[in-house]
Structure 1
Amino acid sequence: MSIFTGNPENQRIRMIDIILLACIFFILYGVVHLSAGMIIPFSVEHEPKVDLQLSLLPYYGGRSLLRMFIAFGASLIFSIVYGYIAAKNEFARKILIPLLDILQSIPVLGFLSATILMFINFFPNSLLGVEIASIFAIFTSMAWNMTFSVYQSIMTAPKDLREAAELLHLNWWQQFTRLELPVSIIGLIWNSMMSFGGAWFFLAASEAISVLGQDIQLPGVGSYLAAAIDAGNVSAMIYAMLTMLIMIFLVDQLFWRPLVVWSQKFKVEFSESDVQPSSFVYDILHASWLMDFLQHLLFAPILCFLNSCGNMLANMTTKITGTINGNKNQKSVHRVLRLFIFILVIYALYGPAKNSAVMVYDMGLHEIFTVFSLGVYTFCRVIAALAIGALWTIPVGVKIGLHPKLSAKLQPIIQIVASFPANMIFPFVTIIFLKYQLNFETGSVFLMILGTQWYILFNVIAGAMSIPNDLLEAAAVFKITGWKKWKSLILPSIFPSLVTGLITASGGAWNASIVSELVAWKDVTLTATGLGAYVSQATTAGDWPHIVIGVMTTCVFVVCANRLVWRRLYSLAESKFHLD
């Protein structure tokens, strides 16, 4: 499929093509130059330090963007593969979806604690190990939201299109490329925007690493901000914020906005809306001779090769599946496969589970009860953050999603506001709390909302944008307006996306608790009673037993919520609220 097709009436090199070519070379040179800084020698005794000179901010910003896009690429591949397997295999789904709920709720610092030393040992005397640990931490703040989006989109794909695919005898690869991936595009792009924005939230924590008693600062705008906060340098903090705002705006206009426009071709509808999203960058690329040339010379052959490999793999798996299905002892074969997978999982988890159990047992029942009570405090804040966030994000998200002109005007603003790390303003919030002697126990809920409400908003926008124009026109013809329109059309249409938004916002809220329940300004620290502050303090101190019991308690709360609430809502979305 051609992503960009040059205008046949203007197939000649123009100034814009020369500019685009220069931009491509500039990007490639920047990637090579910035990557060179990732493999310099490193040791614990001679750690890199962040300099607060203003002239270094562009370089630091480039290093942060490179980490972000590497993590995004890994998250994109992971989300498509993981979401597809979970949606297509019932046995895998029972394991992967609860596991995904748990993974998205484990604090970023928890992943850093478990991986930083491992990656340093993999790449001794090189900064690459620390860089990979930082990128992995950013990956953990992106991947889960995107994966839920892919899973939800595949599970709620229109049944008539599935029946058509079966009638045409499409193999699983053809169904994936022609049906399941296309219906996932709109939701995946909007959730990718949210995930990318959410990663800014944890950039400081992933670049200025304080785990297991070590303080490691990687060159980046996040570590620059952390150093400015530690030094109490307000000017440097403002410069870091301005740098991040510029980067967020450029990424939105040059990357996300063109993707939003391109994604409209995957909208399932019979009639097209009169007003469509627009992007000057997309228009330039669409009319460019250079892009058309690269499409035919580079992109098309690569896509053709990948399609051929996919079809070969599909044919091989079809033969293997047919052999198993044709076996008289089919059930026995499936049981053996499941038993083999179960043994592998138990083998992989036995060591860590045993060590964790010993740590928890040594701590005693009193400490376990204390940590569980802290989890109750954080759980109440998570529920409050979801409820307050949903009150405004649902009506605003529907309004934006149903009005392309409004979306074109507000998307850059929303993207900037959503992507701007709320924890950057936490020091200023700390000053306000101290000055007016405000209660931080309830005030931390407000800080948690700043980092989680956008998950709901972006999913609601994606759900509203996916409503077929046919249904909107039918509602207008029958004069269905007001609450009746919301009840019969809008809410049922956006329900699967809303559930995804609430689930990812819930995981984001648990994750954000590590920075919203404990904030600092210079030597003053405000701490709210909760599991997030507990894990944050244990991670900084390098206290493994307390880190383990904190993460395990988080997992218990998340699994209970998954069993009692989210699984039932997902089943309702899959069985009742999807387009047919």
Structure 2
Amino acid sequence: MKLEKFDLKQKFGVIDIIIFISLAAVLFLIISPNIGKTINPSGIEVSTKLSNLPRYALLSVGRMAGAYILSLIFTLVYGYIASHNKRAEAIMIPILDILQSIPVLSFLPAVVLGLIAIFPNSNIGIELACIILIFTSQAWNMTFSFYNSTKIIPRDLKEAAYTFQLNKWRQFKTLELPFSIMGLVWNSMMSWAGGWFFLMACEMFTLKGKDFRLPGLGSYLQTASNEGNGKALFWGIVTLVLVIVILDQLIWRPVIAWSDKFKVELTESDDAPHSFILTIMRRSVIVNTITEKIFTPFIRNINEKIDKFADKIEKNKKGKVNKTINISKWCIRILFIGLLIYSSYGAIKLVLSISSHDISRILPAVAHSFFRVAVAQIIALAWTVPVGVAIGMNKKIANLLQPIIQIIASIPATALFPVVLGFFINAFGGLNIASIALMLMGTQWYILFNVVAGAMVIPEDLKSAAKIYGLKGWKKWKVLILPSIFPYLLTGMITATGGCWNASIVSEYVTFGRKTVSTTGLGALISEATEKGDFPLLIVSTIVMCIVVVGVNKTLWKRLYSLSEERFKIEL
């Protein structure tokens, strides 16, 4: 693939127009049954009593876990299809660009109103909505990571899989998934941290003037912040940090140590990451017995059934099964087109009802938000690359700093924002600058975690060769480090850009101490439209944000992805 293929003529096309119309149509289709109707709030009070913190923490961790499981399933299915089907890739990657740029609050009305309609007399709808909203803050960077990893698998390994005639399932489990594990693990950690960042917005929010809330750590922190209760806010953050430390020791450190065995290298590292918990589990007689007697046979049985099913599909590629599948595909397409036409008409009608005053606010809002996103990205890039490389290439530093950055990245910046905002209002001029700080606090970790993952997968063979040839300083960065981490850095930059736009909804429109402070920006428009139930402004603002992000992706990131595939693959 040549870089020249990605020219400026590909900025926007029919596919993009269809995607944007579909987006507006889907939003309209979900919210239309509830437009004009009175919404009943959940009726749940969130108490700031310290005795509630353990229960709230467990509830929040449960919602985060549910959202992460959905994210992981979505990542593997969506990323696999996009990386193996060229026709699907042309549609699915632009859709992923759009999805990762849609703020959580833009999903909020559609998800909440739809689930309330399904569960009108229960809080089940709100619970499911919270999990789905957290999912929207976790899934996209994991999917980008898995997709990018499968695209840069060394040619030698692909040829070996072809030589051994591995079916698609065997190729997935023996090559593609293991090769992508390192990036997937670090992006999973980032997704979990991102879930904490938006937890406050997901567990407690205002829609059409009505308050919705669920008992949890996020709603506890937001309630304490709104009440100006410093004591409750302090202990809430302490509880959050404690939960993060426990999860880091019980889950993430063992997973990082386990994932090190998937590095592609000929020379084994002498300083591999280790985990005390993982060592105990490996030495435990009970764990080994359960693994050998229950877990391993179960996995083997499932694996054999999937193998047989995959082989059957391979054999029946030209048989009747294909004809049945084709008929089903055409039925689904006809149904989708009919639904799209109906909902597009309603969406266009709703969008056309937007006032001229709101339209005049959009372009200035785009300009202000774009400037803040660019500044936040430049600042993040300046420090995360050197720090990430230092962590990824030095296991001692990684063991020391990894839990620290995991804790810092997971603390919701919105919980600390009243303090930050107070400082900037007194010193630098208010929310215009403070919003950049909040964007930075929430999204710089996407770049850092991906750079760490990229530095960790650099083979020991190349490190040894660099040492033998005496590569130091800038020459080492130019020849070894930057080419090796480039694909991961690119993934981090793309997801961080989407994260910055996402963070604009909470950084440009801030409520604390029962006061609302806002500034000019697209995120502020979306937050305002969500709170007031102004659906025309919400849909238009969301689509404009998507157009801006996709435009940048097509003119910049897509070219760099091509360069990454062509020049920065580690071949054996």
TM-score by length of 2: 0.89
1:193 pairs with 2:184 = no
Q: In 2, are the aligned partners of 1:71 and 1:135 still within 8 Å (CA)?
A: yes
Q: Residues 499 and 348 of structure 1: is their aligned pair in 2 closer, same or farther, counting only changes over 3 Å? A: farther
- Alignment match of 1:97 (pick from 84, 93, 96): 93
Contact 2:380/2:444 (<8 A) preserved: yes
Return the offset for 1:245. 0.7
Contact 2:264 2:459 in 1 (8 A): yes
Instruction: Please give the secondary structure, in 1, of the residue aligned with 2:122.
Output: coil
Contact 1:430 1:520 survives alignment (8 Å): no
CA distance in 2, matches of 1:532, 1:168: 52
* CA spacing shift, 1:203–1:283, aligned 2, 3 Å: same
**Deviation of 1:546 (Å):** 1.2
Of 231, 234, 240, 2:236 maps to 240
Q: Is the 8 A contact 1:430 1:521 kept in 2?
A: no
C-alpha separation in 2, matches of 1:369 and 1:309? 59
Mapping of residues 351-362 of structure 1, within 5 Å: 351-362=342-353
Q: Which residue type is aligned with residue 450 of structure 1?
A: M
The equivalences for 1:292-331 within 5 A come to: 292-322=288-318
Do 2:227 and 2:512's aligned partners in 1 also have CA atoms closer than 8 Å? no
- Give the % identical residues: 47
| Contact map agreement 2:200 2:219 (CA 8 A) in 1 | yes
Q: 1:153 touches 1:187 (CA, 8 Å); kept in 2? A: yes
Q: Once structures 1 and 2 are overlaid, which stretch shifts more, 196-205 or 567-576? A: 567-576
What aligned pairs does 1:441-520 form with structure 2 within 5 A after superposition?
A: 441-520=432-511
Q: 2:78 aligns with which of 82, 90, 96?
A: 82
Q: For residues 190-235 of structure 1, what are the alpha-carbon distances to aligned partners after superposition, in whole Å with 9 as ceiling and x for unaligned?
A: 0000000011010011001212322111010111111112212111
The answer as to 2:512 corresponding to 1:521 is yes
Aligned twin of 1:224: 220
Is 2:112 aligned against 1:116? yes
Write out aligned runs for 1:228-377 (5 A).
228-322=224-318, 343=334, 345-363=336-354, 367-377=358-368
In structure 1, C-alpha distance between the alignment counterparts of 2:367 and 2:325, rounded to whole Å: 41
Aligned CA distance change for structure 1 residues 533 and 342 (closer, same or farther; 3 Å): same
The alignment status of 1:415 with 2:406, answered yes or no, reads yes
Alignment equivalent of 1:65, drawn from 28, 36, 61:
61
What is the alpha-carbon distance in structure 1 between the residues aligned to residue 469 and residue 329 of structure 2? Answer: 52
Please give the per-residue CA displacement for 1:222-269, whole angstroms capped at 9, x wherever unaligned. Answer: 111111122121111111111111111111111101000000111100
Give the letter for the 2:491 counterpart.
Answer: T
- State whether residues 194 and 454 of structure 1, in contact with CA within 8 Å, keep that contact through their aligned partners in structure 2: yes
Residue 128 of structure 2: which of 107, 126, 132 is its match? 132
Equivalent residue for 2:521, pick from 523, 526, 530: 530
Cα offset, 1:119, TM superposition = 1.2
Residue 340 of structure 1, CA deviation = 7.0
AA in 2 matched with 1:500: T
SS in 2 for 1:362: coil
Matched to 1:557, the amino acid is V
Larger mean CA deviation between 368-377 and 285-294 belongs to 368-377
Structure-2 separation of matches of 1:497 and 1:347: 40
Tell me which residue corresponds to 2:161: 165
Question: CA contact under 8 A between 2:439 and 2:507: conserved in structure 1?
Answer: yes
**Counterpart Cα distance in 1 of 2:221 and 2:547:** 34
- Tell me: CA distance 1:455–1:179, structure 2 relative to 1, closer, same or farther (3 Å): same
Give the match for residue 440 of structure 1.
431
Q: CA deviation at 1:574?
A: 1.2
What are the residue-to-residue correspondences of 1:534-549 with 2, within 5 Å? 534-549=525-540
Shift of 1:480: 1.5
How many Å separate the matches in 2 of 1:108 and 1:45? Answer: 19
User: What are the Cα deviations for residues 273-325 of structure 1, in whole angstroms up to 9, with x where unaligned?
Assistant: 11111111111111111111111122212211221232123223313435599
Q: CA deviation at 1:439?
A: 3.8
2: distance between equivalents of 1:351 and 1:56? 47
Q: How far is 1:344 from its partner? A: 5.4
Counterpart for residue 172 of structure 2? 176
Change (3 A) 1:386 1:429: same
Match of 1:562 in 2: 553
Question: In 1, are the aligned partners of 2:42 and 2:123 still within 8 Å (CA)?
Answer: no
Answer whether contact 1:431 1:521 (CA < 8 A) is retained: no
The count of corresponding residues between Structure 1 and Structure 2 is 533
Distance 1:400 1:361, change over 3 A: same
Equivalent residue of 1:526, what SS?
Answer: strand
Contact 1:372 1:553 in 2 (8 A): no
Paired letter, 1:516 = S
Q: Deviations over 1:48-77 (max 9, x none)?
A: 111111101110011000000111111111
The CA deviation at 1:364 is 5.3
Q: Is the 8 A contact 2:53 2:236 kept in 1?
A: yes
Moved more, 378-387 or 156-165: 378-387
Moved more, 431-440 or 214-223: 431-440
TM-aligned CA distance change 1:371 to 1:313, over 3 Å: farther
Give the match for residue 24 of structure 1.
Answer: none
Change (3 A) 1:216 1:148: same
Asked if 1 retains the 8 angstrom alpha-carbon contact of 2:227 and 2:514, the reply is: no
Structure 2: distance between partners of 1:293 and 1:468 = 34
Measure how far apart 1:402 and its partner are: 0.5
Distance 1:326 1:418 in 2: 48
Supply the distance in 2 between the matched residues of 1:361 and 1:270 (Cα, whole angstroms).
Answer: 61
Q: Is the 8 A contact 1:60 1:221 kept in 2?
A: yes
Trace 1:40-51 onto structure 2 (pairs within 5 A). Answer: 44=40, 47-51=43-47
SS in 2 for 1:578: coil
Residue matched to 2:12: none
* Matched position secondary structure for 2:352: helix
Please state whether the residue corresponding to 2:451 is helix, strand or coil: helix
* Structure 2 counterpart of 1:386, from 377, 381, 403: 377
Contact 2:504-2:524 within 8 A present in 1 as well: yes
Q: Under a length normalisation based on structure 1, what TM-score does the superposition of the two structures give?
A: 0.88
Contact 1:245 1:420 in 2 (8 A): yes
Q: Give the aligned partner of residue 25 of structure 1.
A: none
Q: Residue 106 of structure 1 is aligned with which of 102, 107, 119?
A: 102
Q: Using the alignment, how far apart are the partners of 2:513 and 2:296 within structure 1?
A: 55
CA, structure 1 residues 119+337, in 2 after alignment: closer, same or farther (shift >3 Å)? closer
| Alpha-carbon separation, structure 2, partners of 1:429 and 1:222 | 19
Unpaired runs of 5+ in structure 2?
1-38
C-alpha distance 110-46 of structure 1, shift in aligned 2 (>3 A): closer
- Residues in 2 aligned to 1:94 and 1:546: alpha-carbon distance in whole angstroms: 29
Q: 1:513 to 1:546 in 2, by over 3 A?
A: same
Distance (Å, rounded) in 2 between the aligned partners of 1:346 and 1:235: 55
Which residue of structure 1 aligns with residue 26 of structure 2? none
The DSSP-based 3-state class of the residue aligned with 1:209 is strand
Tell me if the contact between 1:101 and 1:562 (Cα under 8 Å) persists in the aligned partners.
yes
Residues 475 and 286 of structure 1, relative CA distance in 2, 3 Å threshold:
same
Between 1:106-115 and 1:458-467, the stretch displaced more is 106-115
Report deviation, 1:523: 4.0
CA contact (8 A) 1:517 1:529 kept: yes
**Counterpart among 185, 197, 205 of residue 209 in structure 1:** 205
CA distance in 2, matches of 1:377, 1:345: 37
